[in-house]
Amino acid sequence: MNGSVNKVNKALRNYAIFTAVYTLYLICIGGLVTSHGVGMSVPDWPTTYGYNMFRFPVSGWIAGVYYEHTHRLVASVLGVLTAILAIWLWVDETKGKDRRNGVIGLVVILLIAGGIMGIRTTAVFVGIAAFGVAGALFGLYRQSQADGVRWLGFAALSAVIAQGVLGGLRVTLNMDAIGIFHATIAQLFFLLLVAIGLFQSGWWKCLPVSAAVDGRFRMLFVGTTLLIVVQLMIAATMRHQHAGLAIPDFPLAYGKLWPATDDASLHFYNAHRQEMAGENPITRFQIILQMIHRMVALVILLAVAWCAGQTRKVLGWTNPLAKLSALWLGLIVLQVFLGAATIWTGKAADVATSHVAIGSLSLITGGVLSLVSFRLSSRRDEKNLAPAASSSFISKSVTSSR
Amino acid sequence: MKKSFVFGVAAIVAGALQVVSAADIAGKVTLKGTPPAEKEIEPLMKDPTCGKLHKEPVKTRFYVTGTDNGLANTFVYIKSGLPAGQKFTPKGDAMLDQVGCIYEPYVSGVMVDQKIKIKNSDPVLHNVHATPTANAEFNFAQPVQNQVNEKSFSKPEVMVRFKCDVHPWMFAYVGVLEHPFFAVTDKDGKFTIPNLPAGKYTLEAKHMKAGTVTKEITVGDKNEPINLELSVPQ
């Protein structure tokens, strides 16, 4: 281990941030696939209509194939970007034998995963996905005991391998349930990359001790962020029902505060619905799920509004935590509007996908707030502190908690 | 010689009895109430390839009605009443075609294990994605014009949806039964189920939007037309 973990490698930081932004781009592309209902438009994987994915003729990039195929290509690039990030982090934070062994290990993992992918059987794909998930969890565990962020890089590489294979399995096994995991892991992967970029920044490394945050804020940030994760999972489940809009109006639901879900009402809803894409019939479960989604959204809105108000009151408006909380509130308000707009536009693909993207950014903002609030508390215990930051962060009104 | 003559006569009599004890049943399915107006399929018309295959706008087929409120695309079949354990063999293959980026027919019926020839008559690729609940789901590519693939279902299921994920407006429904006694109503809601043996049955009519209606029928030498009515929920 060396002291380079406290130095800022600007090129690496910028690259990590670029990879995180690229991940958001991929989430949007993937969102368009589901919003257009074309996730199964390419029946084979990892080939595309029998072609090597990278050699599929542009003339075939039509209609639904365009969205699904470009999604796969963009995802492949993210895999390469993540591999480079993982290796670069290891090179940056280690030296000598540690560096050599780490880089060789990462390259071997890539070669093995790539080679095994040539054995195109379900058992192999499931095995790769399982090892990817296990690797990600192992990386997170090792990071909890290590300096720097190279183990987060390892976790990200493992996760992106698992994510790619899960996307393929969803197609080859015709299993919508895998699509729900695929969507959820995408959001968590995005958060992981943002965290890596954050940890590489000089701002993070120089967070001052005196700006420690009250424990109540930490719990509020973390609790609300976890609630957003739950909301994203509910949303992913809704979108992968492939039933279109279970409730076609907002803020009411079939004209009521709580919609009727008896058999006769369901028959009425389905009989009068004119779905353009042969969607599955609306079910009681889907209606209730959307109502839960609406209620959780309200709870999140109230929780984030509370965060924004309390941080401003206690920490002061100039405190970055207060500013970030205000941004968080703005994102949630926008997200509520986009959710309503998704319904009002009959689930227009661009509106629904924007709703996905702002949901991602809401998660990231909450994640950053949580990480920063915990960092501020932990700094008091560190023996080798970097020089304190300028007054842009420190608020004199902050009171340390013990 | 005398024995073979007796057997011959017996066979002729048995055949004649068979003819007398099976009959065609015919009828009509009508729709009560006012359904939502059909919509123009805008994504199809806007598609650069599929749109060129049509001179007139293509509309949805949720409630196609004809003369005297006859309801088309209703799957009419014998739900129960056939002797238990009786086996029927499919005759010939069924056909499901993709023409002008539309499935034809919209509603059809096949028997268990009957081959369905699925054809792509279009100059554009499609994928054929069946989403049954009792049978195995499948999804395969048809990138070539006039490509024909064969599939079948091993279990009865009313109805199985077929869709194209490349062109999401394309979908159709296929009913799968263990016997051949089914029909799909025509544009005026009329149907005929041929050669149904004499007996008592439960007849069901299923429409993908209007729901189902059942009726107890008795098939004999003389059979009156069967009228079934479905309603648009109000």
Task: Give A176-195 pLDDT, tens digit per residue.
Answer: 899 999 999 999 999 999 99
Whole-number pLDDT of residue A382: 53
User: Quick check: helix, strand or coil at residue A321?
Assistant: helix
> In the predicted model, what is the mean pLDDT of residues A10-21?
96
- Residues A306 and A223: beta-carbon distance below 8 Å: no
B157-182 as b/e, with b when 16 or more CB fall inside 10 Å?
bbbbbbbbbbbbbbbbbbbbbebbbb
Q: Which helix (H) or strand (E) holds A222?
A: helix A215-239
In 3D space, the residue among A231, A234, A297, A290 whose CA is nearest the CA of residue A261 turns out to be A290
pLDDT band at A206 (very low <50, low <70, confident <90, very high): confident
Q: Please say if the pLDDT value at position A394 is more than 70.
A: no
Whole-number pLDDT of residue A215: 79
Residue B38 DSSP class: P
ipTM surpassing 0.90: no
> In the predicted model, what is the mean pLDDT of residues B54-64?
96
From chain B, the residues in CB contact with A277 under 8 A are: 163, 168-169, 171
Q: Output the six-digit token pair for A254.
A: 């079939």
CA dist., res. A13 & res. A306, Å (int): 32
Q: Which residue has the higher pLDDT, A142 or B85?
A: A142
pLDDT digits (tens, 9 = 90+) for B124-178: 999 999 999 999 999 999 999 999 999 999 999 999 999 999 999 999 999 999 9
> How many angstroms away from the CA of A340 is the closest CA of chain B?
23
> In the predicted model, what is the mean pLDDT of residues A56-76?
96
CA dist., res. A176 & res. B143, Å (int): 24
Interface test with A, best of B60, B163, B166 (most A CBs within 10 A): B166
For residue A276, the chain B residue with the least C-alpha distance is B169
For residue B60, the chain A residue with the least C-alpha distance is A276
CA dist., res. A293 & res. A338, Å (int): 13
Q: A57 touching B, CB under 8 A?
A: no
pLDDT band at A211 (very low <50, low <70, confident <90, very high): low
Kindly give, in sequence order, each residue whose CB lies less than 8 Å from that of residue A204, ignoring residues fewer than 6 positions away: A198, A372, A375
Q: B123 touching A, CB under 8 A?
A: no
Whole-number pLDDT of residue A341: 98
- Angle (CA) A168-A170-A174 rounded to 5° is 125
Q: Please say if the pLDDT value at position A1 is more than 70.
A: no
Q: Please say if the pLDDT value at position A389 is more than 50.
A: no
Whole-number pLDDT of residue A319: 86
For residue A106, what are the CA distances in angstroms to A79, A87, A130, A187?
A: 13, 7, 17, 24
Q: Output the six-digit token pair for B10.
A: 């017996």
Whole-number pLDDT of residue A393: 46
Percent of all residues in chain B with a pLDDT value above 90, rounded to a whole number: 86
Q: Please say if the pLDDT value at position A2 is more than 50.
A: no
CA dist., res. A104 & res. A87, Å (int): 9
Determine which of A153-167, B3-17, B66-80, B141-155 has the lowest per-residue pLDDT on average. Answer: B3-17
Q: B41 touching A, CB under 8 A?
A: yes
Q: Please say if the pLDDT value at position B54 is more than 70.
A: yes
Whole-number pLDDT of residue B71: 98
pLDDT band at A383 (very low <50, low <70, confident <90, very high): very low
Whole-number pLDDT of residue B92: 95
Whole-number pLDDT of residue A8: 82
Written as one string, the DSSP assignment of A158-194 is HHHHHHHHHHHHHHHTT-HHHHHHHHHHHHHHHHHHH
Instruction: Note whether B141 contacts A267, CB cutoff 8 Å.
Output: no
From chain A, the residues in CB contact with B58 under 8 A are: none
Determine which of A299-308, B20-29, B37-46, B118-127 has the lowest per-residue pLDDT on average. Answer: B20-29
User: In whole angstroms, what separates CA A387 from the centre of its chain?
Assistant: 32
> In the predicted model, what is the mean pLDDT of residues A223-230?
97
CA dist., res. B218 & res. B199, Å (int): 6
Q: Which residue has the higher pLDDT, A299 or A8?
A: A299
Whole-number pLDDT of residue B234: 86
In 3D space, the residue among A312, A306, A318, A301 whose CA is nearest the CA of residue A358 turns out to be A301
CA dist., res. B213 & res. B76, Å (int): 10
User: In whole angstroms, what separates CA B182 from the centre of its chain?
Assistant: 7
Kindly give the pairing relationship between strand B94-99 and strand B211-219: unpaired
CA dist., res. B176 & res. B156, Å (int): 5
Q: Which amino acid is at A357?
A: A
- Report CA dihedral (A76, A81, A86, A91) to the nearest 10 degrees: 140
Q: B54 touching A, CB under 8 A?
A: no
pLDDT band at B1 (very low <50, low <70, confident <90, very high): low
> In the predicted model, what is the mean pLDDT of residues B22-42?
95
Q: What is the mean pLDDT of chain A?
A: 90
Predicted TM-score (pTM) of the model is: 0.89
pLDDT digits (tens, 9 = 90+) for A308-367: 999 999 888 888 899 999 999 999 999 999 999 999 999 999 999 999 999 999 999 999
Whole-number pLDDT of residue A3: 44
Q: In what order do the strands lie in the sheet with B147-151?
A: B102-104, B94-99, B116-120, B147-151
Whole-number pLDDT of residue A388: 42
Q: Is the dihedral of CA A209, A210, A211, A212 positive or negative?
A: positive
- Angle (CA) A384-A200-A213 rounded to 5° is 60
Instruction: Note whether B168 contacts A65, CB cutoff 8 Å.
Output: no
CA dist., res. A19 & res. A196, Å (int): 10
Q: A276 touching B, CB under 8 A?
A: yes
Whole-number pLDDT of residue A99: 94
User: In whole angstroms, what separates CA A112 from the centre of its chain?
Assistant: 27
Q: Please say if the pLDDT value at position B2 is more than 70.
A: no
DSSP lists the bridge partners of residue B26 as: B192
Q: Please say if the pLDDT value at position A398 is more than 70.
A: no
From chain A, the residues in CB contact with B138 under 8 A are: 174
